[in-house]
Structure 1
Amino acid sequence: MSSKTWTAVDDYIVSSLFEADPVLDAVIKANRDQGLPAIDVSAAQGKLLSLLVRIRGARNVLEVGTLGGYSTIWMARGLPADGRIVTLELDPHHAKVARSNFERAGVADKVDLRLGPALQSLGALDSEKAGPFDLIFIDADKPNNANYLSLAMRLSCSGTVIICDNVIRDGEVIRQDGRDPYVEGARAAFSFISSDKRLDGTAIQTVGAKGYDGFAIAIVD
């Protein structure tokens, strides 16, 4: 199998199961035109996040890592009318693009974008007692995965679903002798989930338009 085949299958999934979505197409174009890195989740992955929000019955969602807001919009679409999503972004330019995208998608009233280092923002949310969150999606700087997970637990309750993106890293996660900080961050996510007895988790390998990677998914007991 090749990345060309994986991308073609992703395209088939979208064409078979999704309605045409010019808004999300415009979001991706805006991100590209504004020079944001093309590291958004794929459309199929975004729909999965939206479905997980709905399956969980989530009303209060937290996202660590906004970028241009593509995944934020997918999750916001899964929320009920009274739901909200808090999303954390470090880069002011990314945040500006994301806010414009939220307006374009008609979800700005559901989104609370916090600008600044995510660890500080998570600490502030804890101090504000903004949780518990029903679902938490972690997709930021990978070396801080364990720190994000630790703070996420402080903002969780029984039943909270925690999703950590990019934990397979082209299969490099199995290399114990690696020194890539992103791979080490992926391994740290696995170590955290396995060592915290409050968490029951698994991971799913994914292939598609975004290459070979995967999600770790856990639920707080």
Structure 2
Amino acid sequence: MSDSTGDRDVWSRVDRYLETALLPEDPALAQALARNADEGLPPIDVSPAQGRFLHLLARIAGARRILEIGTLGGYSTIQLARALPTDGVVVTCEYSPDHAAVARANLEQAGLAERVEIRVGPALETLPTLTGPFDLVFVDADKQNNAAYLDHAIRLGRPGTVIVVDNVVRGGRLLTGGDPQVEGSRRMFAALQREERVEATALQTVGAKGYDGFLLARVR
């Protein structure tokens, strides 16, 4: 399992090359990352290329209603909200009131506040109160609850709903487990072996965020 300093340097430089080639300068996203840093949020947002990937998935799916589990400072929320039609909505769940306040400021700055509903509190308490269907679900929260989040995502979906679960490889530690976050993803994959409501795959990724991967599923 290679994740050396040299590898990460190459991965980061390739990410910068791809961002320069494919992604225009985006003041709203840059300001969101700056505000997140100023407010002391952990730098665990998706990368710019990953954010654009989510945006394109939402557009390809023709999403009008998106569910996000794990808001942080709203960086990925901005990418998802931009993919919606003017009457679309992102419902995003965030445990921390402080993080939610930062996300609200970032969404206001990006001109997207009216398209986003932030639900503050433990997601496992919020999700049972929501009504679907959602067209796309992005899960990027506490990994130990990934299996439960996936179950809620399926319940709140419809045939054709796209589900993305981030950070499921954890530098290869998925193979061995050993910490609660990795064990959460292992429980999710074990559940998927028996799950008939979705078809799914997972891809490993490398880049500025290191070595990880994501689950991609579609509700049958």
TM-score range, shorter chain: over 0.9
The AA in structure 1 aligned to 2:204 is: Q
Deviation at 1:11, TM superposition (A): 0.4
1:91 alignment partner in structure 2: 96
Aligned residues: 215
What CA distance in whole angstroms lies between the structure 1 residues aligned with 2:192 and 2:61?
Answer: 19
1:156 alignment partner in structure 2: 157
1:2 alignment partner in structure 2: 7
What CA distance in whole angstroms lies between the structure 2 residues aligned with 1:194 and 1:160?
Answer: 19
Task: Provide structure 2 residue ranges, at least 5 long, that are not aligned to the other structure.
Answer: 1-5
Give runs of aligned pairs for residues 121-132 of structure 1, distance below 5 A.
121-125=126-130, 130-132=131-133
Deviation at 1:25, TM superposition (A): 0.6
Give runs of aligned pairs for residues 75-154 of structure 1, distance below 5 A.
75-125=80-130, 130-154=131-155
What CA distance in whole angstroms lies between the structure 1 residues aligned with 2:193 and 2:17?
Answer: 35
Give runs of aligned pairs for residues 186-197 of structure 1, distance below 5 A.
186-197=185-196
What CA distance in whole angstroms lies between the structure 1 residues aligned with 2:27 and 2:120?
Answer: 28
What CA distance in whole angstroms lies between the structure 2 residues aligned with 1:194 and 1:161?
Answer: 18
1:202 alignment partner in structure 2: 201
What CA distance in whole angstroms lies between the structure 2 residues aligned with 1:189 and 1:49?
Answer: 21
Matched, 1:173 2:162: no
Deviation at 1:82, TM superposition (A): 1.4
1:62 alignment partner in structure 2: 67
Deviation at 1:187, TM superposition (A): 1.1
Deviation at 1:193, TM superposition (A): 2.4
Q: Is the 8 A contact 2:154 2:197 kept in 1?
A: no
Q: Is the 8 A contact 2:41 2:72 kept in 1?
A: yes
What CA distance in whole angstroms lies between the structure 2 residues aligned with 1:201 and 1:79?
Answer: 24
Q: Is the 8 A contact 2:93 2:120 kept in 1?
A: yes
Structure 1 stretches (4+) deviating beyond 3 angstroms? none
Q: Is the 8 A contact 2:144 2:181 kept in 1?
A: yes
Q: Is the 8 A contact 1:167 1:189 kept in 2?
A: no
Identity level (%): 55
2:182 alignment partner in structure 1: 183
TM-superposition CA deviations, 1:170-191 (whole Å, max 9, x none):
011111xx32111111112222
1:39 alignment partner in structure 2: 44
What CA distance in whole angstroms lies between the structure 1 residues aligned with 2:57 and 2:18?
Answer: 18
Deviation at 1:152, TM superposition (A): 1.6
Task: Provide structure 1 residue ranges, at least 5 long, that are not aligned to the other structure.
Answer: none
Deviation at 1:77, TM superposition (A): 0.8
What CA distance in whole angstroms lies between the structure 2 residues aligned with 1:103 and 1:203?
Answer: 34
Deviation at 1:194, TM superposition (A): 2.5
What CA distance in whole angstroms lies between the structure 2 residues aligned with 1:48 and 1:179?
Answer: 30
Deviation at 1:142, TM superposition (A): 0.4
Q: Which moved more, 1:30-39 or 1:183-192?
A: 183-192
Deviation at 1:208, TM superposition (A): 0.4
RMSD over aligned Cα atoms: 0.9
Q: Which moved more, 1:186-195 or 1:105-114?
A: 186-195
2:3 alignment partner in structure 1: none
What CA distance in whole angstroms lies between the structure 2 residues aligned with 1:101 and 1:10?
Answer: 24
1:14 alignment partner in structure 2: 19
TM-score (norm 2): 0.96
What CA distance in whole angstroms lies between the structure 2 residues aligned with 1:194 and 1:104?
Answer: 43
